[in-house]
Structure 1
Amino acid sequence: MGTADDTTAAEFHAFFERHYAELSRLAYLLTGEPDTADDLASDALLALWRRWDRVRAADHPVAYARGVVANLAKSRIRGAVRERRRVALFWSQRTDRFEGPDVPAVLDVRSALRRLPFRKRACVVLRHALDLSERETALTLGISVGTVKSQTSRGMAELRRLLGPAPDPGPERHRVPAGVAGDRTGGGTP
């Protein structure tokens, strides 16, 4: 192995160490699947290694890497949707199926994110969870800054609609009644 190969491997290793956790986090936020996130980040980095000469020469190698993760996540989501449709079709043809909706009692941010169309979800995640600029988000997704702005705005509006208004805790909710453990006023009944 020559010096150039050693240098290339060292550069890639440094890139891997610097960006693997971020790419895995991005994959998790896009798919909502913690087990899949590491696989997608690893698959993306393997693809980058295969094209490392081209990637390292790019103006924005990290944006390129994020784009690869986003594309892999999109493919994963599409495959999962196709599988769910096949399962739903199978169960719809059965006569002994369970009737009634399976509606979760609590809708959290992750499940609300999964309900957003992919481009809106990607824009919201990149802008708000990874704190990328509009320009960095546009580079990552291969879209215009204007599209990032509109998709992020629409995605956030849809999240607010899905999650509903934030409850107002009011002043009473924070007060600890006398006699309850943790009450430092010394009051209450023994």
Structure 2
Amino acid sequence: MRDQAFHAFFEKHHAALSGLAFLLSGDRTVADDLAADALTEVWKHWDRVVASGDPAAYAKGIVANLTRNWIRRQGRARRGLTLIGLGGDRAPSPDVPAVLDVRTALNRLPYRRRACVVLRYAFDLSEREVADVLGISVGAVKSQTSRGAKQLADLLKDLKTEVAR
């Protein structure tokens, strides 16, 4: 029974969890790994997940936490490479078509704002659900979503202006 319930959960939510990880991380390959890691954690703690009352929100919270940790590790790795003289001053050449993509602008948002915007608008979660997934207050969700949406709009406007030049 437990195996069947988890299997049904996996089939129903794997794609959405991978999509969430992609929108938060900006890396499709990493997103699949993060979704798999999250589902492994869900499986290990299946009884607790089911007892939470909303297994999908629980799993999204795991994805959000795993992605935040992955982003932190990437930053530390880049700083480490810079300290030893590798990967320093080279800026990637701009990819004009990618600049127009919303994902590019999303990646420029601070993690919490990005998470709030993605969960509210891409996954259509309520403010309460986003607060539960991220482990923050509803007020923080409201302010981060509002600021994130404005910052995203400004970034997209700036990118559009840059491309038009």
2:136 aligned residue: 143
Higher relative contact order (CA 8 A, sep 6+): 2
Aligned AA (2:113): K
- Runs of 4+ aligned structure 1 residues displaced above 2 Å come to 88-92, 99-103, 105-108
Select which of 29, 32, 35 maps to 1:35.
Answer: 29
Q: What's the C-alpha RMSD, in Å, of the aligned pairs?
A: 2.2
- Higher gyration radius (CA): 1
Paired residue secondary structure (2:120): helix
Change in Cα spacing, 1:148 to 1:91, as seen in structure 2 (3 Å) is: same
Gaps of 5+ in 1: 1-6, 168-190
Deviations along 1:103-127, one digit per CA (max 9) or x if unpaired, are 5253232122111111101001101
Whether 1:104 aligns to 2:94 is yes
2:163 aligned residue: none
Change in Cα spacing, 1:91 to 1:111, as seen in structure 2 (3 Å) is: farther
Select which of 14, 37, 45 maps to 2:39.
Answer: 45
Paired residue secondary structure (2:78): helix
Gaps of 5+ in 2: 161-165
- Partner Cα separation in structure 1 for residue 30 and residue 71 of structure 2: 11
Whether 1:132 aligns to 2:118 is no
Select which of 4, 19, 43 maps to 1:10.
Answer: 4
Q: Which deviates the most, 63-72 or 133-142?
A: 133-142
Paired residue secondary structure (1:164): helix
Aligned-pair CA distance for 1:102: 3.8
Change in Cα spacing, 1:136 to 1:161, as seen in structure 2 (3 Å) is: same
- Partner Cα separation in structure 2 for residue 118 and residue 103 of structure 1: 24
Change in Cα spacing, 1:38 to 1:164, as seen in structure 2 (3 Å) is: same
Deviations along 1:75-122, one digit per CA (max 9) or x if unpaired, are 110011111112222337x9xx8x775452532321221111111010
- Partner Cα separation in structure 2 for residue 54 and residue 70 of structure 1: 18
Change in Cα spacing, 1:22 to 1:105, as seen in structure 2 (3 Å) is: closer
Over the matched positions of the two proteins, sequence identity in percent amounts to: 55
Paired residue secondary structure (1:91): coil
Aligned AA (1:142): G
- Partner Cα separation in structure 1 for residue 21 and residue 141 of structure 2: 18
- Partner Cα separation in structure 2 for residue 17 and residue 32 of structure 1: 23
The TM-score normalised by the length of structure 2 is 0.87
- The answer to which structure has the higher helix fraction is 2
Whether 1:84 aligns to 2:84 is no
